Amino acid sequence: MRLPRPRRVFAIALISYSVLCIFGGVFLTRLALHMPRKSITFNDQERVLDIAHDQGLHLYNTSLRTSDGVLLHAWEIDPALTNGNAVILFHGVGDNRSSMLGYAELFLKHGYSILLLDSRAHGESGGDLSTYGLLERNDIHQWFDWFQERGHFSCIYGLGESMGAAELLQSLQVEPRFCAVVAESPFSNFHEIAYDRVGQFFQVGPWMGRIVLRPMVESAFIYSRWKYGLNLSEVAPETAVATTNVPVLLIHGEKDGNIPIRHSLRIQAKNPKVKLWKVPNANHCGAIGADPQKFESVVIGWLKQHSKALN
């Protein structure tokens, strides 16, 4: 017996919605985990060589093989006059270590040794999947061990932006020896940033992903676990920060249209010791451009405030 027209329309709409959510979830997962790779260019190499030559710095190309067999690459830069401390820098999604050279110059000016990393599946580093902290947190732990053994620093700090900030915060669960960290424009957890991304695709707010297309987001999480064995629900900087004793400074532009400032507010709410600098008129990872002098004062001051011997 043929269904009445209203029921047929409803059934077709329901089936179409279900198909959209399933295939949309697969698309979102593949897009997120298989980021287009931005390689280190000849100009990038020339820039870092020029910085090292002009300032009399010591530059090394280095690499590390992770516990799961992925070969990661980095630049180590040491100042002519060192203060005995170091900073590890973490870039954003779809980028590479060259994007952090501006921060490197700032820290080198103050006598810090620098390690600029290509995250797995980024730049020259190996790996097929970017996992936003699930695997990267252990990579950071291994880099920390390598860097400390090489330099025997009094303190090692971390600074990351966007994805790199989120990965750095998550690493605090497995690497508690950072003297302090700075995280600019991190996301709070993978569900929240997924809601933002869906809303941004349709040029609306996160309510689109949180309510209307929530089954699409959930299907993406199910697919990533089935296809790749990755539980993206565990990607949660706010959870890592909640129990850490490492001093954390969050920096977030009040006009960030990529990762809204509510993410840093959520992270801060989990741990009252976390400091948050809200930067007026700054967009995504734009604090250093919005007020370079204050950025330098705040960040270098934060590191000096938390200078202590490594355990």
Tell me, what CATH number does 101's domain have? 3.40.50.1820
Query: Which runs of E-coded beta strand occur in 190-267?
Result: 248-253
Tell me the one-letter amino acid at 142.
Answer: Q
- DSSP three-state, residue 184: strand
- How far apart are alpha carbons 293 and 7 in whole angstroms? 64
Query: Contact 305/249 with Cβ under 8 angstroms?
Result: no
The answer to whether residues 267 and 128 belong to one domain is: yes
Range(s) of the domain holding residue 9: 1-33+190-233
158 and 266 part of one domain = yes
**pTM of the model as a whole:** 0.93
pLDDT in tens, the chain (311 residues): 455 667 767 677 778 778 888 888 899 999 999 988 999 999 999 999 988 887 788 999 999 999 999 999 999 999 988 999 999 999 999 999 999 999 999 999 999 999 999 999 999 999 999 999 999 999 999 999 999 999 889 999 999 999 999 999 999 999 999 999 999 999 999 999 999 999 998 889 899 989 988 999 999 999 999 999 999 999 999 999 999 999 999 999 999 999 999 999 999 999 999 999 999 999 999 999 999 999 999 999 999 999 874 44
The verdict on 161 and 284 lying in the same domain is yes
β-pairing verdict for 155-161 and 181-184: parallel
The verdict on 199 and 180 lying in the same domain is no
- Domain membership flag for residue 194: yes
Residue 311 lies in a domain: no
Q: Report yes or no on 97 lying in a domain.
A: yes
**Residues 4 and 91 both lie in one domain:** no
> Using the 8-state DSSP alphabet, how is residue 3 labeled?
P
Domain count, the chain: 2
Answer yes or no: do 260 and 285 share one domain: yes
In terms of C-beta density within 10 A (0-12 exposed, 13-18 middle, 19 or more buried), how is residue 225 classed? middle
- Residues 12 and 152 both lie in one domain: no
Residues of 177-198 as b/e, b for ≥16 C-beta within 10 angstroms? ebbbbbbbbbbbbbbbbbbbbb
